[in-house]
Structure formats: structure tokens, C-alpha cells
Amino acid sequence: MHDVPFWLWAVFVVIVVVSLAVDLFAHRSAHAIGFREATAWSVAWISLAILFGGVVFLVVGTDAGVEYTTAWLLEKSLSVDNLFVFALIFSYFQVPRAYQHRVLFLGVLGALVFRGLFLAAGVAVVSRFTAVLFVFAAILFWSTYKILKGEDESFDPGKSLAVRLLRKVIPVRDEYAGAHFFVKEAGKRVATPLLAVVAAIEAADLVFAVDSVPAVLAVSSDVFIVYTSNAFAILGLRALYFMLAGLLDRFHYLSVGLAVILGFIGVKLVLQATHETITTAVPEIPSLVSLAVIVVVLAVSITVSVLRPPAAEQDKTV
């Protein structure tokens, strides 16, 4: 565990609260976010995350700084895969672009809360039962297998447990009513499809946590490192979605790269658990090596995606 001063925790909390307030204020009116606006916001969020990482390097130390950077980049790369699911949800429910940011904003709030609970529980369990890292590794290996087999593409937003439960609790009308989540019909309160979209997004957040929490705990078991890196990766998720909207299909090799990263992190967890529970003769993979692997794999998968476009695009050029 790193020696993190209380004031740095306070600074982090203030940054998150102010960032959410600024983002909400900047998008009070429903409007479709264009590429230029989304890019500007993405640069701002990434710069803020990097700046905070610099503070971690200076205040907490080099090891903490490397762990934060590795964890943030890992979570950021995993969040890109999440964008494919968000795009699927928006397409399934035919959500107007003007309302998508509001849904993602609420999704981010839910993700911050859920990740906080999951990470706190994960750190507590790992600190008492190190062998649970083998279980986390198994989860990552299973996720790797599903991605390579393409099973993640079979996600059906309409059959989400959260959406089905919502429909049992309150009637959901078929038409949108602007940015409203509820309307009154015949004197009764009913939900709009926008609330069902939020339920689907939140359910997806929980599924994402199953992969991200074990992955980030392979980098660090320090609560400050794992939560701040997750928070800064999540804060920029909305802008990143709108920046990459329409381009996601072009990064068709990115899923393979993410599968490689998850598999690598799974191996890292196995070695770490073996080192700590069975024999110290088994070496651990340093965070700096993990950082290098993540950067290289992401760079290669993105480069190959650009150089070898999807078959549909290749046919158009013939």
C-alpha cells in the first residue's frame, strides 16, 4: 500500500465533483455532440488524467505513478471495447443523438458508484485471501475466450435483466418524450424508452466491472491507485464515444488486441498469486513491463485495423 496524503484524496474528490458539474452544465440542453466538440472534450479529459498522474508521480512516488499510468491505460483500453456495447444499445432503442449524452452521463455516475463498491470489495478480499487472484485470472481467461470467439457480439439489450425488471415494475411506452424519463398517460405515470436505455447502460456497467476489476487489481491492490485510475478512465468515456461514433467498426482488430491484453493480465495474476501463496521462486511481472505490453498491443491492433480495413470497406474500394 502506498502512503497517500489525505489532501491528495481530497483533491481527487474535488476534481471528480467539479468535472461532473462542468460536464453537466456544458450539456444542459439536449443536442447532438459533433466530432470536433467531442474531440476537444476527449483531449481535456485525457490531459486531466495525465496531469493527475504527474502529481501521483511527484507526491506518492515513481512506483505509484507507474501503477496509476498502467491501470489508467488498461481501463481506458477496456472502456473502448465498452463503446461497442453502448453503440449497440443506442441502435437497438433508436436513441436520438441529442439524448445520448444525458444517458451516458447517468451511466458514468452509476459506473463510478459500482466500480467504487466492486473495487473496495476486491481490495478487501485480495488483502485477506490472496489465492482469490487465481479466480480473478480465470475470469480474465474466460473473457479472453469469449472475445476471441465473438460471443460478446451476441449481447441483446432488450433481454437485459435490468430492462426486463424495469418493465415489470413500471409500464414503458414505445415513443420518446424528449429528454424525459417519465410521462403521464391517462393519469398514470409511465416510463419512456430513455429510462430503459439507462437501465441497459447500468446493467452493462456491472458486466464491464467483472472484467475491469480483476484486471486493475493485477496492476495494483492499492485503493487509491485502482479507484483514481478507474474514475479518470470513466470520466472521459462519454466524449470518447461521440468522438469515435461511426469509426468503431474500423477498429475491427481492437477486440483481438484487448483479448491479448486480458490474457496477458490473467497470466500476470497467476504469476502474482503463485509468487505470494506457493513459492517466491516464481517471478512477478513488473508494472512497467505491463505498461509496455499494453501500449504495444494497442498500437499494433489499431495500426493493423487502419492498414487492413474491414472486408465490407475493401469491397467498396474495388
pLDDT per residue over 272-304, tens digit each? Answer: 999 989 998 999 999 889 999 999 998 999 899
- Extents of the domains making up the chain: 6-317
Looking up cell 469509426 gives: 247
Any idea what the Cα angle at residue 59 is, between residues 55 and 64, rounded to 5°? Answer: 85
pLDDT per residue over 73-124, tens digit each? Answer: 998 888 776 777 788 788 888 888 888 888 888 888 888 888 888 888 888 8
Between CA 208 and CA 111 the distance in angstroms is 9
Q: What is the predicted pLDDT for the residue at 264?
A: 94
Between CA 201 and CA 295 the distance in angstroms is 28
pLDDT at 224 over 90: yes
CA distances from 96 to 29, 51, 167, 179, 252 (A): 14, 34, 21, 10, 25
pLDDT per residue over 156-208, tens digit each? Answer: 676 677 788 888 888 888 888 888 889 988 888 899 888 888 888 888 887 77
Q: Which residue intervals of the chain are DSSP H helices? A: 6-26, 35-59, 62-92, 97-128, 132-149, 161-169, 193-217, 223-235, 237-244, 254-277, 287-307, 311-317
pLDDT at 4 over 90: yes
Q: Which of 120-124, 148-152, 215-219, 299-303 has the lowest mean pLDDT?
A: 148-152
Beta-carbon contacts of residue 153 (< 8 Å; ≥ 6 apart): none
pLDDT band at 152 (very low <50, low <70, confident <90, very high): low
Between CA 70 and CA 295 the distance in angstroms is 9
Is 191 in contact with 182 (CB distance < 8 Å)? Answer: yes
pLDDT per residue over 30-76, tens digit each? Answer: 666 777 888 888 899 999 999 999 999 999 999 999 999 999 999 88
Q: What is the predicted pLDDT for the residue at 317?
A: 47
pTM to 2 decimal places: 0.83
Between CA 268 and CA 133 the distance in angstroms is 10
**What cell was used for 218?**
493485477
Beta-carbon contacts of residue 235 (< 8 Å; ≥ 6 apart): 16, 19, 20, 23, 45, 48, 49, 108
Beta-carbon contacts of residue 273 (< 8 Å; ≥ 6 apart): 130, 131, 133, 134, 137
Residues 219-230, mean pLDDT to the nearest whole number: 92
Looking up cell 466538440 gives: 37
